[in-house]
Amino acid sequence: MILPEPRFYLKDKNSKEPTLIVMQAKYNGQRIYLSAVEKVNPIDWDFDKQRAIITRRNLANASINIWLDKMTLDFKTIFRNCLLEEIEPTAILITQKLQEKLNLTNTQPLIPIGKETLFLFIEKYIQECSGYKSQSTIKTYQSTFKHLKNYSKLLSKELDFEDITHDFRNKFIRYLQNLGSGKNTEGKHIKEIKVFMNEATERGLNFNLDFRSKSFSKPSESATKVFLSMQEIEKLVDLDLSYCKTKEIVRDYFIISSMSSLRYSDVIDIKEENIKNDAIHIITKKTGEQVIIPLSPWIKNIFIKYNYRFEKKIPCNQIFNKVIKEVCKIAGLNEQITITKTIGGVKKTIVYMKYELISSHSARRSFVSNCILAGIGIPQIQLITGHRSLKTLSLYVRINQVQNAERLANHSFFQ
pLDDT tens digits, one per residue of 374-390: 888 777 887 877 766 55
The pLDDT tens digits of the residues spanning 31-59 come to 787 888 889 999 999 988 899 999 888 88
Annotate 337-378 with DSSP letters as a single string.
EEEEEEETTEEEEEEEEGGGG--HHHHHHHHHHHHHHTT--H
The pLDDT tens digits of the residues spanning 137-196 come to 899 999 999 999 999 999 998 899 989 999 999 999 999 999 999 999 999 999 999 999
The pLDDT tens digits of the residues spanning 273-321 come to 888 888 889 888 777 788 888 889 999 999 888 887 765 567 788 899 9
> Please, are residues 284 and 245 in contact by the beta-carbon 8 Å criterion?
no
The pLDDT tens digits of the residues spanning 323-359 come to 999 999 999 999 999 888 888 888 889 999 999 999 9
User: Which stretches of 293-344 are DSSP H helices?
Assistant: 297-305, 317-330
* pLDDT at position 223: 73
Bridge partner residues of 346 (DSSP): 343
* pLDDT at position 71: 93
Outline where DSSP puts E strands in 73-194.
Answer: none
* pLDDT at position 171: 96
pTM passes above 0.85? no
The pLDDT tens digits of the residues spanning 219-245 come to 988 777 788 999 999 999 999 999 999
Instruction: Please state, rounded to an integer, the average pLDDT across all residues of the chain.
Output: 85
Share of the chain above pLDDT 70, in %: 89
CA 378 to chain centre: 25
* pLDDT at position 402: 46
Which residue, among 122, 96, 124, 120, has the nearest Cα to 108 in the 3D structure? Answer: 96
Which residue, among 169, 215, 224, 214, has the nearest Cα to 192 in the 3D structure? Answer: 169
The pLDDT tens digits of the residues spanning 359-375 come to 988 998 898 888 888 88
* pLDDT at position 370: 87
Q: State mean pLDDT over 248-257.
A: 93
**How many angstroms separate the CA atoms of 340 and 223, rounded?**
9
- The 8-class DSSP code of residue 84 comes to H
**How many angstroms separate the CA atoms of 96 and 280, rounded?**
66
Q: Which residues contact 370 (CB under 8 A, 6 or more apart)?
A: 227, 229, 230, 233, 258
* pLDDT at position 95: 86
> Please, are residues 270 and 280 in contact by the beta-carbon 8 Å criterion?
yes
* pLDDT at position 413: 47
110 confidence band (pLDDT: 50, 70, 90): very low
